[in-house]
Structure 1
Amino acid sequence: MKILYGVQATGNGHISRARAMGKYLAKAGIQVDYLFSGRPAEQLFDMQQFGDYQVKRGLTFVTEAGKVNYWQTLRQASVQTLWQDVKALDCSSYDLVLTDFEPITAHAAKQQKKRSVALGHQYAFLHKIPMEHANLVTHLMFRHFAPAQIRLGLHWHHFNQPILPPIIDEEPDEEHDAEHASKEANRVLVYLPFEDQQQVIGLLKPLTEFQFSLYGPGLAKATIGHIDTHPPALHAFKADLARCSHVLSNAGFELISEALQLQKHIMVKPLQGQMEQQSNALALQQLKLACRTDSLSTGAIAKWLNEKQQYGTVNYPNVASAICNWLLQDTPGEVNALSKTLWS
């Protein structure tokens, strides 16, 4: 079996899902070619797992200081380049096109009538789940941005809909168990890539009773008192995620999924003007899994760090392995059946 796997590279969450899926596709002996879009190639990191992958411009949202800048998004979008890439992509040698909200592979498969499967959190929004600031535009975007014949939506709860639990890039083993045992009570992982990083440092400086591991674009590896700053990195980030007790982040899906699985104390600050992140924050509130703030301040962070409230816990199955086995079937079963099996 040969798969073309398209990955939306705007955020690291889609790539993290591809890392998890890629491990099981490789174990199954499936040949996979990867295409990433939405971020320049020089901004990608720790990509050795994906071999000789392609990078295309695609489409992405421009953010500034924690808000979506729609004007800059429209200015920088190149629909002409997108459609040229769609037309130039030859899917004839592939048995399946798999897309994680990546538009070039999705539309190429649709035009060439190639078997296609979409997986990702965005496809959960085609069902009745908690949503904030949803409208016709957002509905059309989720339906048509990266379409496929079969759509596998992912979320933290099923909400009585045919959606799947999260795909988490972590395999429980003795090494991870040891890392969990060494969790530091006052260690906080901070990942707010859409915020002004210097402003974030300023907010954390007064909170000297905690040790912060701050990751973000433009940061260098340095120590500022009780704050360790890091550029984006895979293995160091995973290690800090394992040993921290608290996670402060925007409301992206994948990191929160990993933090929930590791039973971290979580606060999210959703990206303003981004319906998906605001809906994620709403779902976390309704499920009583995390704390939410819509504006960052030293006071809000301190209150969360010192609160005694207990949040719910989760224990998700190995979704990546299950989807891989499902894809390998000659005639994959109904998504409803796969959903019920995984949630059970």
Structure 2
Amino acid sequence: MKILYGVQATGNGHITRARVMAPALAAQGLEVDYLFSGRPPEQLFDMQPFGDYRCRRGLTFQYGAGGRVKAFATLCNNSVWQLWSDIRTLDLSGYDLVISDFEPVSAWAARRQGVPSVGIAHQYVFNYDLPGRHQGRLTGGAIRLMAPVDTAIGLHWHHFEQPILPPLIPPPRYPATLEADKILVYLPHETRAQLIDWFSRFADYRFVVYCDCVEPRVQGNLEFKPFSRDGFEQDLASCAGVISNSGFGLTSETVQYGKKLLSKPYRGQVEQLSNAEIMQQLGLATVMRGDCDLLQLKAWLQQPNPAPAPYPDVAAALACWIAEGHREPAATLAKRLWNDHAAPSALTAGA
């Protein structure tokens, strides 16, 4: 079976999922080509698992200070004509299946050319009824408009009595340790000056900040580091807590390593607002009130860490499911995987 795997590269979580799926698909003897869109190629890193991958412009969001989505800039920086050209010229002859991690070019090309498609992404959970006040604003229609697929597999921290799978993340590569004064920070849309203003007030802690920089740099009790998948996971394994936005992938890895989380959702980004509300109800994180409430930050720093909560091997199960023609109902696959993981009990279905 020959597969084209399309990945929305705007967020690192999509790429991380593809990194997990790549060896699992290869282990099933499947031939896979990869296509990435939504980020300039020069901004991609640690791409060795994907071989001779391709890039397209695709669609992406533009963010302002504090992570607020800039609607007008997003509209101006996305070209519908280029998107249509990329969809129309992507030749899928010779492919038996398209997998889309919420990637529009491959998904729409598959729809136009009649190639079977499977969607594997967190965003596909919005096809189902989720708890919270934000879910209704991101409808299944919007999801289908962005990246339509024949079979959609959604991923979340709880099944909510729906055919939703656990998070698709790599198993821990490092033992979970604890450096009590070390806090890992990933807030890519905050300015360096803003981060220094917030965290320099807590001199008893070391804040390890991953950001868009060329060389590591220490400034007071903040250490700025360039993006590195391996370095980031090592710091995640040893830190006393994580401060990040409300992305799905990093939150899942934080839960798996048993680290407390202080989460700052992007303003105006419905997916992140929904994530923040659900993770708070599930007891997975403390959600920031506004930009940065220093009293809230101080209280969070003093909280203990939860126990690690490893997720099952979702990648291996999905790769086998795909190799066997994805005939097993998604609900059956989901039930089997959740039986291997103790889902959070703080939120009951329909709450």
* Class of the TM-score when normalised by the shorter of the 2 chains: over 0.9
Letter in 2 for 1:2: K
- 1:269-300 CA distances to partner (integer Å, 9 max, x unpaired)? 10000010010011111111111113214333
Q: 1:7 to 1:148 in 2, by over 3 A?
A: same
8 Å CA contact 1:132–1:275 kept in 2: the answer is no
Letter in 1 for 2:294: T
8 Å CA contact 2:185–2:243 kept in 1: the answer is yes
Q: How far did 1:130 drift?
A: 2.5
- 1:57-84 CA distances to partner (integer Å, 9 max, x unpaired)? 1000100112000010001110100010
- Measured in 2, the distance between the counterparts of 1:137 and 1:165 equals 21
Letter in 2 for 1:32: V
What RMSD, in angstroms, separates the aligned Cα atoms of the two structures? 1.7
Are residue 337 (structure 1) and residue 338 (structure 2) matched? Answer: no
After superposition, residues 1-344 of structure 1 pair within 5 angstroms as 1-65=1-65, 66-135=67-136, 138-170=139-171, 176-177=174-175, 180=176, 182-218=177-213, 220-295=215-290, 296-307=292-303, 314-330=309-325, 332-344=327-339
Unaligned runs of 5+ in 2: 340-351
Letter in 2 for 1:74: L
Q: How far did 1:311 drift?
A: 5.3
- Measured in 1, the distance between the counterparts of 2:308 and 2:239 equals 16
8 Å CA contact 1:8–1:37 kept in 2: the answer is yes
- Measured in 2, the distance between the counterparts of 1:186 and 1:154 equals 33
- Measured in 2, the distance between the counterparts of 1:307 and 1:55 equals 43
Letter in 1 for 2:168: I
8 Å CA contact 1:138–1:275 kept in 2: the answer is no
TM-score by length of 2: 0.92
Instruction: Give the secondary structure class of the aligned counterpart of 1:68.
Output: coil
- Measured in 2, the distance between the counterparts of 1:186 and 1:136 equals 39
Instruction: Give the secondary structure class of the aligned counterpart of 2:277.
Output: helix
Q: How far did 1:230 drift?
A: 1.0
Q: 1:290 to 1:221 in 2, by over 3 A?
A: same
- Measured in 2, the distance between the counterparts of 1:228 and 1:18 equals 29
State the partner residue of 2:346. none
- 1:184-239 CA distances to partner (integer Å, 9 max, x unpaired)? 12211100112223211221111111111101234741111221101222111111
- 1:116-150 CA distances to partner (integer Å, 9 max, x unpaired)? 10001000111111244344564432222101100
TM-score by length of 1: 0.94
Letter in 2 for 1:23: P
Q: 1:277 to 1:219 in 2, by over 3 A?
A: farther
Residue identity (%): 45
- Measured in 1, the distance between the counterparts of 2:267 and 2:55 equals 28
